[in-house]
Amino acid sequence: MERLQPYWEKIVHFWREKHITKIFLLLLLIFILLSMLFFAFMATTANVQSLKEGLRQSTIIIDKNGEEATSVVTNRTSGVVVEELPDHVKNAVIAIEDHRFFEHNGFDLLGITRAFFKNLFAGRITGGGSTITQQLTKNALLSPEKTYKRKIEELFLAVEIEKHYEKDEILQMYLNQVYFGSGAWGIEQAASKYFNKDIQKVTISEAATLAGLLQAPSAYNPYKNYDRAVNRRNVVLAKMHELGMITEAEWNHSKEEKLTLIEGKGSFIERKYPYYVDAVLDEAISKYGLTQEELLTRGYRIYTQLDPNIQSSLEKVYENKKHFPKGKKNTLVQSGAVLLDPSTGGVLGLVGGRGEYVFRGFNRATHIKAQPGSTMKPLVVYTPALENGYTVTSVLKDEPMTFGDYSPQNSSRKYSGEVQMYQALEKSLNVPTVWLLDQIGLEKGVDALQRFGIGIEDEDRYLGLALGGMHKGLSPLQLAEAYSTFSNEGKRYEGHLITRIVGPTGNVIAEHKPKSTKVTSKTVSNEITSMLLNVVETGTGTGTQIKGVTLAGKTGSTQLPYNDIKGTKDQWFVGYTPNLVGAVWLGYDKTDREHYLPNSTSEGVVPLFKASMEQSLQHVEPTEFSVLSVNDRLAGKEQKTVDRKKEIIETVDKIEETLKEEAPKWKEKIDSIILDIAEKSENLLEKLKNIRDE
Measure the CA–CA gap between 640 and 576, rounded to whole angstroms.
Answer: 18
Residue 364 three-state SS: coil
**Packing angle, helices 442-451 and 430-440, rounded to 10:** 100
Residues linked to residue 406 through DSSP beta bridges, in sequence order:
403
DSSP-assigned letter for residue 88: H
Q: How far is Cα 535 from Cα 375, in angstroms, rounded to an integer?
A: 12
Of these residues, 182, 254, 374, 428, which one is catalytic? 374
Residues 83 and 285: their CA atoms lie apart, in Å, by: 35
Q: Are 273 and 297 in contact (CB under 8 A)?
A: no
Specify the amino acid at residue 42: M
Under 8 Å between Cβ of 630 and 600: no
Q: Please state, in angstroms and rounded to a whole number, the distance separating the CA atoms of residues 405 and 14.
A: 79
Angle between helices 204-213 and 248-256 (to 10 degrees): 70
Tell me, yes or no, if 416 is annotated catalytic.
no
Q: Is 271 exposed, middle or buried (0-12, 13-18, 19+ CB in 10 A)?
A: buried
Q: Is 374 a catalytic residue?
A: yes
Residues 6+ apart with CB under 8 A from 191: 197, 198, 199, 201, 202, 206, 210
Task: Decide if 500 contacts 466 (C-beta within 8 A).
Answer: no
CA-to-CA separations, 98 to 8, 93, 615, in angstroms, rounded: 53, 8, 57
Q: How many residues does the chain have?
A: 694
CA dihedral 524, 530, 532, 534 (to 10 degrees): -150
Distance between CA atoms of residues 610 and 603, nearest Å: 11
Catalytic-labelled residue, pool 58, 71, 97, 267: 97
Kindly give, in sequence order, each residue whose CB lies less than 8 Å from that of residue 89, ignoring residues fewer than 6 positions away. Answer: 187, 199, 202, 207, 210
Distance from C-alpha of 261 to C-alpha of 230, rounded to nearest angstrom: 12
Helix (H, G, I), strand (E, B) or coil at 173: helix
Task: Tell me if 417 sits within 8 A of 410, measured CB to CB.
Answer: no
Q: Angle at CA 318, nearest 5°, toward 317 and 323?
A: 70
Q: What angle do CA 476, 481, 485 make, to 5 degrees?
A: 140
Identify which of 130, 102, 97, 99 has the alpha carbon closest to the alpha carbon of residue 116: 130
Q: Which residues are catalytic?
A: 97, 374
